[in-house]
Amino acid sequence: MTDRPMQLAVLGATGSVGRAVLEDLEARSVPVALRLFATASSEVDLLEFRGEELEVEKLGDKAFRGCDAAIFATPAPLAREWAPRAWAEGCLAVDLTGAFRSAPEVPLVVAGWNDVAVAEGKARGVVAGPSGPVVPLALALGPIHREAGVERVVVTVLYAASGAGRAGVRQLEKEMVALLNGEEPDLSEISHRMGFNLVPQVGAFGAGGHTDDEVAVGSELRRLLLAPTLAATATAIRVPVFYGHGLAVNVRTSRPLAAEEARALLRASPGVKVVDAPGERVYPMPMLAVNDDAVLVGRIREDASQRNGLDLFLVADNLRCGAASNAVRIAQEWVRIQRG
């Protein structure tokens, strides 16, 4: 293994996830040489990284030359077009956009759970990260599945505004200011008010009445846990929180697992922090998860309404744990494999 820093391109560097990639690299002191990309019309020309101003470039020929990996934190069409071009220049695409999530030959990876699948990225030159809520869900349910066999999952996902990127954050900020000043907010960017409201739609509705984001929770979880018969259903609700998705999870396992056993198991699991002392009012909350790469798990209790039932509440920073930190770790693992 050489000591040469990882050569990393970040596409969508000026966006919510792109900036979280830079924060993750800084927070973990990852040795890295960066190239940053955004649109030609981006409002941002320079981004600060470790006290230096780095230029934000626009994509063009040879953009990926010399790069080990490129994190795509852009709209999906851009990843569809540019990921193959990156691979043609010898650079792995780590795709967060959803463009490749359902392609069977593209590995779907949650670092800390199935890192071993990163090597399969060489099939198409792409490794995909799952959708934001599925990263913390897999980190928490993976160890439970390994120990007791997860048969069924029912999850309510409380989506933070930043799950909709800069536009979501901007919209909630404007709404809060307007509402607290007794004015009607302008809803030009998002169709329903988020401020002081709950919106039971994230994604587009399909024929059966679920949204595509809700369907993705089950399909991505089945792939990640290698559990094709796992039954799963999800309800996605946008909540007036800026950062940090919450997940109320009900699980049925094939073998019994007491709450105390689940707590001990999760305490020993990578990427998981057990925050669970309800008597002392200690449990996961979005404000505790911001800038954390781990999923916070608490309110772990047995569900007496069914055989082998457990209830849990999870919270994770959607930009870090749900996207950026996972992508950086995938890129690091790829480099480790390539350099032996």
Q: Which is nearer to ligand NAP, 175 or 220 (CB)?
A: 220
As beta bridge partners, residue 309 has: 252, 303
| Binding residue for ligand NAP, selected from 107, 132, 284, 309, defined by CB under 6 A | 132
Which C-beta is closer to ligand NAP: that of 10 or that of 266?
A: 10
Contact 25, 32 (CB under 8 A): yes
Give the phi and the psi of residue 72 in degrees, each rounded to 5.
-95, 105
Select from 14-22, 103-111, 143-151, 206-214 the region that touches ligand NAP (CB under 6 A): 14-22
Minimum Å gap between C-beta 169 and ligand NAP is 8
Burial 119-142 (b: 16+ CB within 10 A, else e): eebeebbbbbbbbbbbbbbbbbbb
Binder among 12, 107, 244, 286 for ligand NAP (CB under 6 A): 12
- Residues 210-249 contacting ligand NAP, CB under 6 A: none
The yes or no reply on residue 308 touching ligand NAP (CB under 6 A) is no
Among residues 26, 27, 30, 39, the one that binds ligand NAP under rule CB under 6 A? 39
**Which residues are 154's β-sheet partners?**
233, 250
Contact 138, 147 (CB under 8 A): no
SS3 114: coil
- Pick one of 97, 171, 219, 308: the residue that binds ligand NAP (CB under 6 A): 97
CB of 58 to ligand NAP, least distance (A): 7
Give the separation between CA 339 and CA 337, rounded to whole angstroms. 6
Q: What is the DSSP letter of 222?
A: H
Q: Which stretch binds ligand NAP (CB under 6 A): 141-149, 165-173, 225-233, 308-316?
A: 165-173
Closest CA to 86 of 65, 103, 55, 109: 65
**319 touches ligand NAP by CB under 6 A:** yes
Site for ligand NAP, rule CB under 6 A: 11-18, 38-39, 42, 44, 73-76, 78, 96-98, 132, 162-163, 165-167, 318-319, 322-323
